[in-house]
Amino acid sequence: GENVEQHPSTLSVQEGDSAVIKCTYSDSASNYFPWYKQELGKRPQLIIDIRSNVGEKKDQRIAVTLNKTAKHFSLHITETQPEDSAVYFCAASYTGGFKTIFGAGTRLFVKA
């Protein structure tokens, strides 16, 4: 069945460095790719999303890139801060679809 692979499972960076999380999806019909951030003990929250007609999207310190041919998409966080420490989930679905496939998550630690 469809799946989304996410790497790495754990990532530790120094404050101020960049962090990159990568995902690969299997269903070529997927055209909507959201990223959710879940801080410890809190609910997942949407931080950015991208559609397949766009190759890159930025929002302040976060950006997402998409390579449709390779079925890869990535989250980039620049100038990391301790409050970026959380679990990040990538996901894939298609417009109007109800079944979102989530990656297993990446636990990001930002060391002060």
Binding residues vs other proteins (CB under 8 A): 1, 4, 6, 9, 32, 34, 36, 42-46, 49, 89, 93-100, 102-105
Residue 23's contacts (CB-CB under 8 Å, 6 or more residues apart) are 4, 5, 6, 7, 33, 72, 73, 74, 75, 90, 92, 103
Name the residue nearer to other proteins (CB basis): 63 or 104. Answer: 104
To other proteins, the closest distance from the beta carbon of 102 in angstroms equals 4
Query: What tokens does 62 get?
Result: 């976060």
- When the beta carbons of 11 and 97 are compared against other proteins, the nearer one is 97
Task: Give the nearest distance from C-beta 41 to other proteins in angstroms.
Answer: 9
| Cβ atoms of 54 and 72 closer than 8 Å | no
Q: How far apart are CB 88 and other proteins at their closest, in Å?
A: 11
- Which of residues 28 and 95 has its CB atom nearest to other proteins in the complex? 95
Cα dihedral 1, 25, 21, 102, rounded to 10, equals: -40
Supply the minimum distance, in Å, between the C-beta of residue 86 and other proteins: 14
Q: Cα(109)–Cα(87) distance, rounded to whole angstroms?
A: 9
